[in-house]
Structure 1
Amino acid sequence: VDPASDEQHALEAPLLRRASVVDAHGGSARNYVVTMWLTLGDNRARVEVSLSENTDMPYPLVIGRNLLTDVAIVDVSRRHTLEHPAVP
């Protein structure tokens, strides 16, 4: 989603691998994994992203603790504390 216009855009990326994952209900699936650039505040990193159909989840992307380690402190009592970054 483009933060400036709120428009959705289709993206393509080479397949890195397929990963076996367990969902919140205990079911298993094989998700596609790609790499992409992710910007979080002033930090930009190339990350592996596991793709899945998350239409029943409130967020389109879940950021895990591996990405946040040594980069951020999470205060669960606050929401949306960063401004939209400038697109590089």
Structure 2
Amino acid sequence: MYNIHAKVDTGAETSVLHCEDFKVFERKGHRYITCHIKPHLEEEEILTLTFPVHRERIVKSSFGQTETRYIFITKIKMFDCLFDIKLSLRDRSSMSYPMLLGRNFINQKFLVDVSQKYLAKNSF
């Protein structure tokens, strides 16, 4: 368990994880992505993880720029439940949270109460 802090973002369609460096490669006809993830932006720990690429997608950032993102599927634990999640990677080092939970993940799993904060603290 990595205890990555995440922010719910109902304006974001896709969930995203902080990554400063990644490499896409092909092996036996399948594409994979190897990424170097800092689970806590303020710490030096770096994890090197490899995932099969689920798909490639053109995404428009909140700044209006379009870019190609590679989507992979992994698991996330919240409130002692395990969920599948589709993630893309992006450099979020200038952001407060290393991970965003977008609408595609939140939809039909959670109801967002904007009057509350930190409801899932220590549950990832």
Q: TM-score range by the shorter chain?
A: 0.7 to 0.9
The alignment status of 1:32 with 2:70, answered yes or no, reads yes
Between the two proteins, the alignment pairs up a number of residues equal to 84
Segments of 5+ residues of structure 2 without an aligned counterpart are: 4-39
Which of the residues 28, 45, 48 maps onto 2:86?
48
Indicate the RMSD between aligned Cα atoms, in angstroms: 2.3
Select the structure with the greater relative contact order (CA < 8 A; seq sep ≥ 6): 2
State the shift of 1:72 in Å. 1.5
TM-score under structure 2 normalisation? 0.56
- Residue 111 (structure 2) aligns with: 73
Distance 1:8 1:77 in 2: 34
- Residue 55 (structure 2) aligns with: 17
- Choose between structure 1 and 2: higher strand proportion: 2
Contact in 2 for aligned 1:32/1:52 (Cα 8 Å)? no
State the shift of 1:70 in Å. 2.4
> Structure 1 residue runs of 4+, over 4 Å off?
none
Segments of 5+ residues of structure 1 without an aligned counterpart are: none
State the shift of 1:34 in Å. 0.9
Q: Note the alpha carbon deviations across 1:36-80, whole angstroms, 9 max, x for none.
A: 101121332212111112222222111112222222221222221
